[in-house]
Amino acid sequence: MLQTLIDWAEANPLIEKIGLAVFANNEAAIRLYRKLGFMEEGRRPREMKLGPGQYVDDVLMCRLVK
């Protein structure tokens, strides 16, 4: 499904960049996104509170399509 989005974005002359956010502890997803050409462009520290004293960063990723 993500490849379909990438294909659509590449075919659309108005789209230059696609982006997503993923929890930093979701290593499998981050590997997949990198394999598809996404790169890390930023982080939001402690973006999500999981429980008392437990937080996770949000990793912002993008892929340039033009």
Query: Which tokens is 23 given?
Result: 């929890």
Question: Which CA distances in Å does 35 have to 38, 46, 56?
Answer: 7, 26, 23
Residue pointed to by tokens 């499998």 = 28
Strand, coil or helix: 65: coil
CB atoms closer than 10 angstroms to residue 53: 6
Q: What is the pLDDT of residues 23-60, one digit of tens each?
A: 999 999 999 999 999 999 999 999 999 999 999 999 99
All domains of the chain in start order, with CATH = 2-64 (3.40.630.30)
Residue 63, helix vs strand vs coil: strand
Q: What is the mean pLDDT of residues 12-30?
A: 98
pLDDT at 66: 86
Neighbour count for residue 33 (Cβ, 10 Å): 20
